[in-house]
Amino acid sequence: MRAHEVAEPMLPGPSGPLAGVKIVDLTQALAGPFCTMLLADLGADVVKVEPPHGDMARMVPPFADDDTERSFGGYFASINRNKRGIVLDLKTDTGRRTLERMVEGADALVENFRAGVMDGLGLSYESLSDRNPRLVYAAVRGFGDPRTGESPYVDWPAFDVVAQAMGGVVSFTGTTDGETFRVGPSVGDLYPATVAALGITAAVLHARQSGQGQFVDVAMYDALTALSEAIVYRYSYNGTVTRPTGNSHPQLAPFDLYPTADGKCAIAAPSAKHWEILCELMGRPELVDDPRTVTNGHRMKNADFVRQVMTDWTSSRTTAEIIEVLGGKVPVGPVHDAADLYADPHLQARHMLVAVDHPGVDRPVVFPNSPIKCTATPTGVHRRAPRLGEHTHEVLAELELEEKQ
């Protein structure tokens, strides 16, 4: 409850490299809002457009125990910071006309509806592009948009777990006996969102140079297939279907999570240099020239032996003792939980935890800060997530002013 005391304060205002870029954000749930949050963290002016009932994610917990307002929970707050919020009913003529006016002065519009929803509202890419030829129109959907490639699944809804499963991620994530798992972070949403943010940024740069906008399409399934690149090329090279290997690596050793006297730690020393250093620090210098472990290839053929050597050494020491011996010499790291992140000096030095105001709560709440660091145009959080429709009058007033100029 006092975690904000070790976190970085919010910035006084937007200052990132995308300052001056205007984004109309029609997204909901996770993938789309995370995409536009990345752009907002980089300084873009993102206006989140919600229907009268609000984004479906607003009421997803957790809520602070002392939240007297409950405008939104942590799920929504985390991915909608740095945005202004307005309410438009796009099922009405007034709502549609207002959106069209917003698009006329925007660099990009981002949505994550099913394919055809915006077309059905009379707000297709083609119609909006007629109003603003330099508009970048971006869509993040489960299976893409017919404009860039027909899919037999185009009308299927999708969530993170579906994208992880179909894209291959689940197939090689799991235990050594073959049980598979969804990856903990929602990479089925977050990775497509990140790819989309890159695509939008590139397309906006092209539009500003050429005056030509375009449709940017990222399918969750496509993005997760790209993320699973290793299993694709392994199958192409020799027909190998990659299966789960637990926490180890199918091509590198040692490269694993090893038990310690009080937990686990990660150690990776597959190169000749790091293996030699590791052997010396473990008091096993003879393993450098041992025919079972002399190269990474030999260590892979004798992976069980290598793991036993490593486990024998790590299990008799605490995680802190191992870090003290190996830190800075071979790749090593403790397995952190959420509480550990708040205590780690690296994250504090890098300002990676940020304290953000929350309506109805008398203390800030903490989120990960932007991992993109820029020296001339600092990125980060300068605004909490908006209440439903909080900036409607402000944004409409700006439209009126622009039209009078």
Residues designated as active site: 189
Contact 85/389 with Cβ under 8 angstroms?
Answer: yes
User: What are the start-end ranges of the H helices in 58-181?
Assistant: 74-79, 93-104, 117-120, 125-131, 160-166
CA quadruple 100, 101, 104, 108: dihedral sign: negative
Contact 88/24 with Cβ under 8 angstroms?
Answer: no
The 8-class DSSP code of residue 172 comes to G
State the SS3 of 199-234: HHHHHHHHHHHHCCCEEEEEEHHHHHHHHCHHHHHH
Structure token pair of residue 297:
């290839």
Chain-centroid distance of CA 401 in Å reads: 36
- Rounded-to-integer distance, Cα 59 and Cα 72, Å: 5
Q: Please, which residues have CB within 8 angstroms of residue 47's CB and are 6 or more apart in sequence?
A: 22, 23, 24, 25, 83, 84, 85, 86, 102, 391, 395
